[in-house]
A and B are shown apart, each in its own frame.
Chain A
């Protein structure tokens, strides 16, 4: 089963990996910061080596967003994200996991879950069982 893991971050210090620039992270004592960064690296390696990692994408600064909407049949393009908020989508991972519990436990280990927010959503399957 595939899952989308969405990483949110504070748009004020836009630089990947996002958590490294989060005020909450920067406020930690140096040895704890080191430990958090090490665990993040370990998680990355773990999901790659296990064959769960399917895809990953880092998004550019939300200021570069083009918001496109149709108005009376005419597409209208404006600059900036659709919703201004404290946290913006910073990137995502697609993982193929054995269970929703496994996907959630991986998501919880992204440091961004601690400093900003991480969301896990199942990806729909084009296959189905007859009822």
Chain B
């Protein structure tokens, strides 16, 4: 049965996309797609899978949708609804790749909030149920249903075209990945699924746009980051910083796939933020330990990142790398650039990095205070536990 489920789940976004392209009504297209999937789940086990399962589903879904539109039109004939005859060419020859990209772009429409973009992407392209998405984000199903239906309303009538660049889509996929990656232990299994789903969707986009360097870069970044999952927490859920991770636990197959992607894309594509982030992750992945890491190269890469996308988080990471390459005082000097930056006020990571550099420099009293301040400001339980334990070691 799982074979059918996987097949249907894989086909669902193509069917939905073909219908949205033709009928421009997201909500109705989704209902019709669901009905077609149900029909397939009852017919295929008995009659066998058709030669072109995608075309079969699109044909059935189109019929359901036109039936529905006709009955709606009949019931409000006096209103000036768009007549069915005005719709685009036949949907039953799927333009698979373009359709999926258009659907993704629509789900990540700039008019939507990040929370809605994420929910709609997981629902429409990922094929997850509303209940599954709600569980992953730890909210009631009703809340998630509202988010999805609000999103659908907002993109009603939006243009359905292949996006000029995939930046918005990649950003949403990265948010989904991070949501899953940061929760890797205990009762958070549903959220871990999100990391896997984000990787699956990014793989899909990469297969459709193999020469897009940023897509490859994001996929590599996800793989290289996810490879560290087994080492980043202990059995009790406490966080292990990168420097202290047991690197023998890193997933070697994810590392080698990520490394191969980075190498290929850096020599073939125009450089971009995700590729540089992936390159930094690659330098870490290639080092046997924190001490043996090529920190000078990481400093250089953060410099590139700062020129592509200057922001305080990059400066923060640069300060850590400079601290490792040229000593803690040099790192603290970089951190000085952020003092007075309104975007960093109340940011616990700024204090955590300062604490770390002060500890390296031997200023233990100040380091202790900074760890405590960072612990006070974070809203994450495992981060707070980690920062308190660092402070306690110095107290």
CA distance A50 to B239 in the complex (A): 34
Contacting chain A: which of B1-9, B110-118, B270-278, B293-301?
B110-118
Q: Give the one of B143, B179, B186 with max A CB within 10 A.
A: B143
Query: In this assembly, does B106 line the interface, its C-beta being within 8 Å of a C-beta of chain A?
Result: no
A131 and B115: CB pair below 8 A? no
**Other-chain contact of A96, B115, B242, B386, B387 (Cβ < 8 Å):** B115
Name the one of A53, A122, A123, A131 contacting B383, with C-beta atoms under 8 angstroms. A131
B382–A131 touching, CB < 8 Å:
no
How many chain-B residues does the 8 Å CB contact rule pick out?
A: 44
Complex interface bits, A19-62 against B, C-beta within 8 A gives 1, otherwise 0: 00000000000000000000000000000111111110000000
Q: In A101-131, which residues have CB < 8 Å from any B CB? A: 122-131
Pairwise interchain contact A125-B232, C-beta atoms closer than 8 A: no
CB distance from B108 to the nearest CB of A (A): 15
Distance, CA A114 to CA B354, complexed state (A): 40
Q: Would A126 and B187 count as touching, CB distance under 8 A?
A: yes
Chain B proximity of A27: nearest CB distance (Å): 36
On whether the beta carbons of A126 and B143 are closer than 8 Å, the reply is no
**In the complex, A122 Cα to B380 Cα: how many Å?**
10
Given A50-B150, A129-B380, CB of A96 within 8 Å of CB of B183: no
- Near A by CB (< 8 A), chain B positions 232-288 give 232, 237, 239-242, 245
Q: Are A131 and B379 in contact (CB under 8 A)?
A: no
Count of chain A residues with a beta carbon within 8 Å of a chain B beta carbon:
22
Q: Is the CB of A131 within 8 A of B352?
A: yes
Interface of B toward A, CB cutoff 8 Å: 113-116, 119, 137-140, 143-148, 150, 179, 182-184, 186-188, 191, 228, 232, 237, 239-242, 245, 349, 352, 356, 378-384, 386-387
Q: Taking beta carbons and an 8 Å cutoff, which residues of A are in contact with B?
A: 1-2, 48-55, 96, 98, 122-131
The contact sample of 13 A-B pairs, CB cut-off 8 A, is: A50-B146, A51-B116, A52-B143, A124-B379, A124-B380, A124-B381, A124-B384, A127-B184, A128-B380, A128-B381, A129-B380, A130-B240, A131-B352
